[in-house]
Structure 1
Amino acid sequence: MNIEQLDIMRNLTAGQQTQRTIARHTGYSLGKVNRLVTELQKQDYVDSSLQLTAAGKQYLVTHHPQRAIILAAGYGMRMVPINMEEPKGLLEVNGEPLIERLIKQLHAVGIDDIHIVVGFMKEHYEYLIDQYHVKLIVNTHYEDYKNLYSLYLARLFLADSYVAPCDIWFKNNPFSRIEDQSWYLFSNHQTNDSAWRVTNRGTVKRISKGSRGDQMVGIAYLNESSGRLLAKLLQVAVGNELMLSQFWEQVLNDNGRFLLKGRLIADDDFNEINSYEQLRDIDFNSIHLQNKAMRVIEKALDTDLRGIKNIRVLKKGMTNRSFFFEHDGHRYIMRIPGEGTGELINRQEEYDVYQELQGTAWTERVFYLNPRNGYKLSAFIEDAHNARASNWDEVTRCMAMLRKLHHSGFKVGHAFHLYDQIKFYESLRKEPSAYRDYAAVKDRVDRLRPFISQHAKPQVLCHIDANPDNFVFDRNDHLYLIDWEYAGMQDPDIDVAMFAIYAMYDRSQLDKLIDTYYQGQCDRTTRLKIYAYAAACGLLWSNWCEYKQSLGLDFGEYSLAQYRYAKEYSSLVLDALEEDNAQD
């Protein structure tokens, strides 16, 4: 039975008993409905009174979907800032969580065997087990892979099953008591994001380059044979690292042929809730619109939710998650502290630094900073780029900026205590270091402490986190130094060492950096001290990385590089000092 005939059968089982009412509900012409009814009568599924025959009723029994899979594991980056407090499947529209609406719609057509693949904030979905008797499948790789992997985890339940994302709101129930051929749901909205178009016969054709395709909605029905086939395709796909970065629909693309029939839905029959603004547009009173970050923005900019536009997540930083948005023709950045930052950063001290720097033209313009939770609202620097550690013209300007800071006379009431911070980060990881020779390296770094103290310069305000990424050039080539979370009073030479180890410079590059900062006037003792800072700061950030890794964050070669600085430069300085002592 084809999809159009099934539409007629569905309407008959729903109580639509005339061709005219069926035409109104399906959108088909009256002539087309008459033709389809005649076809069903010839197959003995419908009698002359538009009642199901015994064969028609038996067909319903043998073609009833058995189960459903709901994909709800993803982080939902486009849902920032809501996704800081609630997973997207539990966002409420008109007082009803999206995923509960889907579950109720499935129950309404007799489908109770429902598997939900969860990952991000999985604990928030646990209540559904008791309330709706669903089963949860946990995806531990939700941060690493797209939803192809989630569907792979549910591959045993694909036959006679619906597949649905958790973030779509349907005006009418998209599920049915009767299915036959497998299908994938498209919207009649044309978009550049789709390479497919549904024909009048329900086949799905690949469109030519430059054309617009029918929007892919994300719901599919898989009969028994399609479910078995898809399970095999997923099994093969997860063995390919490139495929793991794809959405599950990619396996339906068989060398330009779409493996399922297409089913069309009107664009105004559903809403995809993929962003803060989409939720606002469908339900302005949703409780999830009023989260902490948005309340801060409303108050700081004297606006309401309607004035906040084009919200976009920024790339996740090492410490924070941020998003930018537009208001009244200007763009802003809202910082939301990341995992574990409450342990790492004293927000009151950060606040004090920004108060001291207030009005300075070479720092970002801050409109709001909360000394308790670290929420920060600042102006977006337009058409900007970060300093490039390989561009020595830019590096020279960065070092000039540091000299300007160090001679500015700014003061705050707290210092950055390097060795205390190393000890603090060690305590946070709560287990021995993963590095086998950590104790020996730590001992060498500790032996550098008297030398550093003996030759430390008078303390000035230092940035501490003098990462090349925190030096930003705007469209007019104006240089800013941003993100003062770790700043405090310290020996200014620590900022030179920090810049070098963040940039992962080798020794010749570090020497060039020192000469650039000191404009060729650096004495040997100061140079050795900066080497010692490189060792101690390398150990500091190595411990920081190990702690963050315990929270599920991995910084790749950066973490190894920091440990190498601790290991190699501690040996270098101690050997040099030993030679000096021998000569004396």
Structure 2
Amino acid sequence: MNELDVLIELARHQPKNIQNASQTMLADLQQRGLVKDDLTLTEAGYAYLEPYRVKRAVLIAAGFGSRMVPLTYTTPKPLIKVHGRRIIETLLDALLAAGIEEIIICRGYLKETFDVLKDKYPMIQFVENPDYASCNNISSIYYCRDYLSQAYILESDLFLYNPDLIRPYEYRTNYISKPVEKTDDWCFDVKGDIIQSVSIGGEHCEQMYGISYWQADDAQKLAEDLKNVFESEDGKNLYWDEVALKVHPEHYTLAVRRVQEGDIIEIDTYDELKAIDHSYQ
């Protein structure tokens, strides 16, 4: 845990999350006038964090969700309710709790159904993806490429049980991940906390979740790479993450930010939904 991690947690009034911080580091932060004796931030502490404030969030919500039929015949997957709450609302509420109010939702399939969110979340903006049916999700980020700087990019079908995963400040580009012994899902091979490679399925790896943050310089490179890859012959078939993780990994240094079991639930199929919410049985 470095000093920025400590300051971010204290800014969120979460001193329990800094138990791994050294007393030497805390004493240094106090001596520099950034942290008070009661482990709250001073005005100087908040000013120190301000360059790292998350500016916006882009939510990918354009796809059909074929593995969730029959529900997705009439309702896009992000709008499906789990225990009475829409999946996408767990993300929106967490973003607002972190003070992130510039929220862009990229929609496509049954796009008008997302208008219902405007009643509760009037600040959201919609970007239309006209290619959602013929291209992979790279198309959604292609159409949102002007909004990626200091932004979270989130898949909208993640049910977020721990809203504290969304933070008001981030200091480097990172992907949410969870250490696992084995997975059949997308996963990272990491060295320390830096991503070395990505694959589908692995052992003693980091399972990838569809939440990432992009600092300004990486976002600029990503926007350029996205445009070039998407407009290439085979680029439209890719997942957007593959642009940085597979096509041009040399352009980026990507870290992982680790979460705990149960912080995020990926509900991939109708059977998994029924197992979590018995009202669908």
Tell me the TM-score normalised to structure 1 length. Answer: 0.44
In structure 2, what residue type is equivalent to 1:123? E
Confirm or deny that 1:277 pairs with 2:271: yes
Counterpart for residue 15 of structure 1: 13
Higher-strand-fraction structure: 2
How big is each residue's C-alpha offset from its partner over 1:7-45, in whole Å with a ceiling of 9 and x where there is no partner?
32232123244xxx335xxxxxx4545455356446653
1:208, CA displacement in angstroms? Answer: 9.4
Higher-helix-fraction structure: 1
| Residue segments in structure 2 that go unaligned for 5+ positions in a row | none
Counterpart for residue 268 of structure 1: 262
Distance 1:208 1:70 in 2: 23
Confirm or deny that 1:88 pairs with 2:44: no
- The answer on whether the counterparts of 1:129 and 1:135 sit within 8 Å (CA) in structure 2 is no
- The answer on whether the counterparts of 1:147 and 1:248 sit within 8 Å (CA) in structure 2 is yes
Distance 1:12 1:209 in 2: 36
SS in 1 for 2:262: helix
In structure 1, what residue type is equivalent to 2:260? A
Distance 1:210 1:171 in 2: 24
CA RMSD of aligned residues (A): 2.5
Counterpart for residue 132 of structure 2: 142
Distance 1:154 1:65 in 2: 17
Residue in structure 1 matching 2:212, options 212, 217, 220: 220
Counterpart for residue 116 of structure 2: 127
In structure 1, what residue type is equivalent to 2:262? D
1:137, CA displacement in angstroms? Answer: 1.0
Counterpart for residue 237 of structure 2: 245
Aligned counterparts, 1:449-468, within 5 A: none
Distance 1:39 1:197 in 2: 34
Distance 2:201 2:98 in 1: 40
Aligned counterparts, 1:339-378, within 5 A: none
Say if 1:59 and 1:236 are closer, same or farther in 2 by CA, change over 3 A: same
Say if 1:256 and 1:224 are closer, same or farther in 2 by CA, change over 3 A: closer
- The answer on whether the counterparts of 2:90 and 2:161 sit within 8 Å (CA) in structure 1 is no
SS in 1 for 2:120: helix
In structure 2, what residue type is equivalent to 1:104? D
Distance 1:256 1:159 in 2: 18
1:50, CA displacement in angstroms? Answer: 2.4
Say if 1:94 and 1:36 are closer, same or farther in 2 by CA, change over 3 A: farther
| Residue segments in structure 1 that go unaligned for 5+ positions in a row | 24-29, 290-304, 306-584
Distance 2:267 2:56 in 1: 24
How big is each residue's C-alpha offset from its partner over 1:355-414, in whole Å with a ceiling of 9 and x where there is no partner?
xxxxxxxxxxxxxxxxxxxxxxxxxxxxxxxxxxxxxxxxxxxxxxxxxxxxxxxxxxxx
1:247, CA displacement in angstroms? Answer: 0.9
Distance 1:196 1:48 in 2: 39
Percent identical among aligned pairs is 29
- The answer on whether the counterparts of 2:187 and 2:201 sit within 8 Å (CA) in structure 1 is no
Aligned counterparts, 1:533-544, within 5 A: none
Say if 1:43 and 1:71 are closer, same or farther in 2 by CA, change over 3 A: farther
How big is each residue's C-alpha offset from its partner over 1:250-306, in whole Å with a ceiling of 9 and x where there is no partner?
011255556421111123211012211221222222xxx3xxxxxxxxxxxxxxx4x
The structure whose RCO (Cα within 8 Å, separation 6+) is larger is 2
Distance 2:156 2:199 in 1: 31
Counterpart for residue 62 of structure 1: 51
Confirm or deny that 1:117 pairs with 2:106: yes
Counterpart for residue 230 of structure 1: 222
Distance 1:208 1:97 in 2: 30
1:53, CA displacement in angstroms? Answer: 3.2
Residue in structure 1 matching 2:4, options 3, 6, 10: 6
1:64, CA displacement in angstroms? Answer: 1.6
Distance 2:155 2:200 in 1: 28
Residue in structure 1 matching 2:39, options 50, 53, 65: 50
How big is each residue's C-alpha offset from its partner over 1:298-344, in whole Å with a ceiling of 9 and x where there is no partner?
xxxxxxx4xxxxxxxxxxxxxxxxxxxxxxxxxxxxxxxxxxxxxxx
Confirm or deny that 1:74 pairs with 2:63: yes
| Structure number, greater radius of gyration | 1
How big is each residue's C-alpha offset from its partner over 1:423-478, in whole Å with a ceiling of 9 and x where there is no partner?
xxxxxxxxxxxxxxxxxxxxxxxxxxxxxxxxxxxxxxxxxxxxxxxxxxxxxxxx
- The answer on whether the counterparts of 1:129 and 1:136 sit within 8 Å (CA) in structure 2 is no
Distance 2:60 2:169 in 1: 22
- The answer on whether the counterparts of 2:186 and 2:199 sit within 8 Å (CA) in structure 1 is no
1:105, CA displacement in angstroms? Answer: 1.2
Say if 1:33 and 1:89 are closer, same or farther in 2 by CA, change over 3 A: farther
Distance 1:227 1:108 in 2: 24
Tell me the TM-score normalised to structure 2 length. Answer: 0.87
Distance 1:90 1:56 in 2: 39
In structure 2, what residue type is equivalent to 1:161? A
Distance 1:145 1:221 in 2: 23
SS in 1 for 2:223: helix
Distance 1:207 1:96 in 2: 32
Distance 1:68 1:171 in 2: 18
Confirm or deny that 1:183 pairs with 2:174: yes
Distance 1:217 1:35 in 2: 34
Number of residue pairs aligned between Structure 1 and Structure 2? 275
Say if 1:245 and 1:33 are closer, same or farther in 2 by CA, change over 3 A: farther
Distance 2:201 2:111 in 1: 40
SS in 2 for 1:162: strand
Confirm or deny that 1:105 pairs with 2:94: yes
Say if 1:184 and 1:35 are closer, same or farther in 2 by CA, change over 3 A: farther
SS in 2 for 1:136: strand
Say if 1:217 and 1:39 are closer, same or farther in 2 by CA, change over 3 A: farther
Distance 2:117 2:200 in 1: 44
